[in-house]
Amino acid sequence: MRFLTRSLVAVFLGALALGLLAYAGNMVRETLAERAERDARPGVVRERVFTARVVPITPGEMAPTLSAFGEVVSRRTLELRATSAGRIVELADGFEDGAAVSAGQVLIRLDPADATAARDIVRIDLSRAEAELRDAQSALELSRLDRAEAEAQADLRRRAFERRQTLTERGVATEANVEEAELAFANARAAVIARRQAEAQAVARVSQAQTGLERQRINLSEAERRVEETRISTTFAGVLSDTTAVTGGQASMNERLARVIDPDALEVSFRLSTAQYLRLLDDTGALIPTLGEVALELGGLEITTPARLSRASPSVGDGQSGRLMFAEMVAARGFRPGDFVTVRITEPVLDNVARVPSAAVEAGGGVLVLGDEDRLEADTVEVVRRQGETVLIRVPPRLEGREIVAARNPLLGAGIRVRPQREEARLAAPPSNEMVSLDPDQRAALIARIEANTRMPERMRTRILSALSQEQVPARLLRRLSEARQRQGG
């Protein structure tokens, strides 16, 4: 009985397996037949539609921004040099790099012993020259008196000679008497000539004495100037830099001991190409005093200050090209000579131009314009300026108010249908020079946060603290500080 039951179960399972295999084979056959039938039918081709971001072309008046790299330099720099060799006997209090000095302050004193001795010797020589002049003037006065007396005696001899001649004509005197009077008259005239020669020599002696006196006065002035030059002072208020002088050191002739820099009279020098330079000239060829700004990067932060284009270098240096330009910094807070900065100069306003992303325009000026049924059309525009990630284009009348593809790629071309993705174009706007005021609590909190940041370089910390200590703070700096705080998690 058990054997029969097992046999029936085995037969049932075998039949079930054969049925499943038959069902699976039928399914495979139907699938193959359906696939063959589908491949035999003609296929329906669908047009591929791409998604593309488009921006409108809005012409108007825009002022391009010209960017260049430059270096901050000082317009007022004074070099403190030793005009004569000597030992340094005294330095001003706080004579070190970065120390503030006032106008007329004596910073260095050299040993004045030699200069003082030379001045005293010149004073003695001056006294001798004055005595010599007085002596020469007295001698001149005596020579004039002597000449006058000789002329009076010559006049007496002349009258005596004329009287003897008259007496001889009357027969009262002899010829010998006449000759004797004539000889005396000749001797008197010779004496007058000698006295005149002596007077001329006395006049020449007075002139020489006066010349010697003037020379000694000049020598005294020079000696006093050398004594005064042992005290080295500054002519304007500024900050000390490159100090090398030490008390007791020996200064050589014309040695530079320090420099004084005016931190409020800074400018930036930068180089432009000739084409960029020509865009900054007016119709008469004069430089346009356009405005701009100077920016300094400080490890993710940026401080800016307004600037004004002031002048251009009159010549091109050896091995250089373009034009060297100078811009005066209006409020140079936090900047120092030698800083490597970015200069942004605002060019004259251009009419009928639009700002679009640089990826929307090919090198030759080609653009893709959105046409009817959202199909692309190829067109060309004139590129006026390239401004980083944006370009300024001249808009022809046929493209006013239309939309172009913001970012071209190899899949897009003329005739391609796209799915336009519209959004307001966020184009880079020229940086502003906005300054804001802080209340005491905000200022104190920012200063405390900067001072507590141990990872910030010391030079960067000094510049930021200098900017925060001013009455007004650049808005850009506050935005950068806020962004940095958010990145650090508050």
- What is the residue extent of each domain of the chain? 1-39, 77-111+230-261, 114-228, 266-346, 350-422, 435-487
Question: 418-422 and 50-56: which strand pairing?
Answer: parallel
Query: Is residue 5 pLDDT above 80, yes or no?
Result: no
Angle at alpha carbon of residue 267, lines to 263 and 272, rounded to 5° = 160
Please give the pLDDT value at position 434.
63
Q: Is the pLDDT of residue 139 over 70?
A: yes
Asked if 392 and 376 count as a contact pair (C-beta separation under 8 A), the reply is no
Average pLDDT over residues 420-431: 54
CATH 1.10.287.620 fits 114-228, yes or no: yes
Q: What is the pLDDT, as a whole number, of residue 218?
A: 93
In contact, 227 and 80? CB cutoff 8 Å: no
Is the pLDDT confidence value at 317 over 50?
Answer: yes
Tokens representing 228 are 């005064």
Give residue 431's pLDDT band: very low, low, confident or very high (50, 70, 90).
very low
Q: Which residue has the tokens 């002349």?
A: 158
Model confidence at 75: pLDDT above 50: yes
pLDDT surpasses 80 at 208 = yes
pLDDT in tens, 302-311: 788 888 888 8
pLDDT at 487 over 70: no
Q: What is the mean pLDDT of residues 27-37?
A: 78
Q: What pLDDT score was predicted for residue 490?
A: 42
C-alpha separations of 313 from 273, 346, 422 in Å: 13, 20, 48
pLDDT band at residue 214 using 50, 70 and 90 as cut-offs: very high
Q: What is the pLDDT of residue 67?
A: 86
Q: Mean pLDDT check: name the lowest of 70-84, 132-146, 158-172, 399-413.
A: 158-172
pLDDT at 151: 83
The confidence band for 162, taking pLDDT boundaries of 50, 70 and 90, is confident
Highest average pLDDT, of 39-53, 129-143, 173-187, 404-418, comes from: 129-143
pLDDT band per the 50, 70, 90 thresholds, residue 41: low
Mean pLDDT of the chain: 81
Q: Which of 356, 359, 357, 358 is nearest to 410 (CA)?
A: 359
**Minimum mean pLDDT among 34-48, 181-195, 403-417: which range?**
34-48
Choice among 34-38, 160-164, 227-231, 485-489 with the minimum mean pLDDT:
485-489
Alpha-carbon span 391 to 55, nearest angstrom = 13
pLDDT tens digits for range 193-204: 888 888 888 888
Six token digits for residue 394: 């001249």
Q: Which of 454, 445, 428 is nearest to 481 (CA)?
A: 445
pLDDT of residue 425: 38
What average pLDDT does the segment 18-35 reach?
79
Residues pairing with 366 in the sheet:
380
What size, in residues, is the chain?
Answer: 490
How far apart are the two ends of the chain, measured CA to CA in Å? Answer: 87
Architecture label for domain 77-111+230-261? Beta Barrel (2.40)
In this prediction, residues 16-32 reach a mean pLDDT of 79
Residue 428's pLDDT is 39
pLDDT > 90 in the chain, percent: 4
The one-letter amino acid at 202? A
Report whether pLDDT(237) > 80. Answer: yes
Q: Which CATH architecture has domain 350-422?
A: Beta Barrel (2.40)
Lowest mean pLDDT among 15-19, 266-270, 418-422: 15-19
